[in-house]
Amino acid sequence: MIVIEKIADLQAYIKEKAAKSVGFVPTMGALHDGHISLITRCVAENDLCVASVFVNPTQFNDKADLERYPRTPEADCAMLQAAGCDVVFMPTVQEMYPEEDTRQFNFGSLETVMEGKYRPGHFNGVAQIVSKLFDAVQPHKAYFGEKDFQQVAIIRAMVEQLNYPIQIIACPIIREESGLARSSRNTLLTDEQRKKAALIAQVLTKSTTFVHSKSVSATIDWVEEQFKDDAEFRMDYYEIVDGNSLQPVQNWEDSEFIVGCIAVYCGKIRLIDNIHYKG
C-alpha cells in the first residue's frame, strides 16, 4: 500500500497502474469496521482500491465539532493496509483548498430537510470536497455507507448534476454488538454513554413493528417519547420519509420505499442512524 499526499502524484500513480476499474472510498479517518466493510467491497469489485483520509473543514458548521473530530492517521493506515487497500490519499487542507471554494450547489428539497435543516451549509461542503476528490481520483465506482442516508442521496444528485461517469454504491450500516451504528464519533462517547446510545437502534428496530398497528405520526410520537426521560439525550429530529425524495410521508401507503431517520445527541456527541420500514 502506498500513501500519497499530492493530487498530481496520486493521478500519476493511478495512470501508471492503468487499472480497468478504479474503486474509491472517501473517509474522514478514525476508521472502524463500517469503513473497512466499504474497503473490502471496493477491493473485491475493482482492480485498484483508493481510499482518502481527510477531515473536510467546509462541511462543519460547528468549529468545536471540527476540532474534536477524532484523528488517528497511523491506525487508519494500518487498518487500510490490512484490508487490502492499494492507495491512501491523505492530503492537507492546503492541497485540497489552495484557494477558497466558493461554489454553491443547489440540491433543492433534498438538502432542506433533516441534516440540511440542522446543519446549514453542511451538504454544500460535502459536495465541494467529494467533487474535488472525484476529480482527483476519477474513479469508476465510489462507496458510501448507508448510515449517512441523506448524504448518499445528495452525492447521487451531485453526480447527476456534474455528469460524473461514476457509479455510487451504498453499503449497509455496520453495527456494534449493542446495535449502535458504527461511527467515528462513537469514540468520543464515555463508556456509560456508549451503553445508553444503544437505545437509538433498539428504538428504531422496535418502531418497525408498528407499520401495521400505528399511524406514521403515532410512530414518530412513540420514538420521540423514548428519549425524553433521560437527560443525556437531546433529539434534533426523527422523521419518516420517502427514501428517494426524503420528504416526510403521512401514511405507510404513500411510498414503497420508506425510511426513518434520526439525529440525537448523547451528551455532547451527535449521532445519526436510520432504518427501513418499507423497501
| pLDDT at residue 62, rounded to an integer | 85
pLDDT at 22 over 90: yes
60-64, 77-81, 110-114, 221-225: the lowest-pLDDT one: 60-64
Q: Rounded distance, CA 92 to CA 107, Å?
A: 28
pLDDT in tens, 120-146: 999 999 999 999 999 999 999 999 999
DSSP assignment of 175-244 equals B-TTSPBP-GGGGGS-HHHHHHHHHHHHHHHHHGGGTTTS-HHHHHHHHHHTTSS-TTEEEEEEEEEETT
| pLDDT at residue 254, rounded to an integer | 97
| pLDDT at residue 83, rounded to an integer | 98
Cell digits of residue 52: 482518502
Average of per-residue pLDDT across 58-63:
90
* Strand 233-242 versus strand 258-266 pairing type: antiparallel
Catalytic residue list contains 212? no
* Residues β-bridged to residue 143: 169
| pLDDT at residue 213, rounded to an integer | 96
CA-based max dimension of the chain: 59
Q: Indicate the domain borders of the chain.
A: 2-171, 184-272
Q: Rounded distance, CA 235 to CA 254, Å?
A: 25
CATH class of 184-272: alpha beta
* Residue 61 pLDDT class (50, 70, 90 cuts): confident
* Residue 279 pLDDT class (50, 70, 90 cuts): confident
pTM above 0.85, yes or no: yes
Query: Catalytic: which of 35, 122, 212, 276?
Result: 35
Assigned fold of 2-171: Rossmann fold (3.40.50)
**Residues 6+ positions from 188 with CB-CB distance below 8 Å:** 68, 70, 268, 269
Average of per-residue pLDDT across 99-118:
96
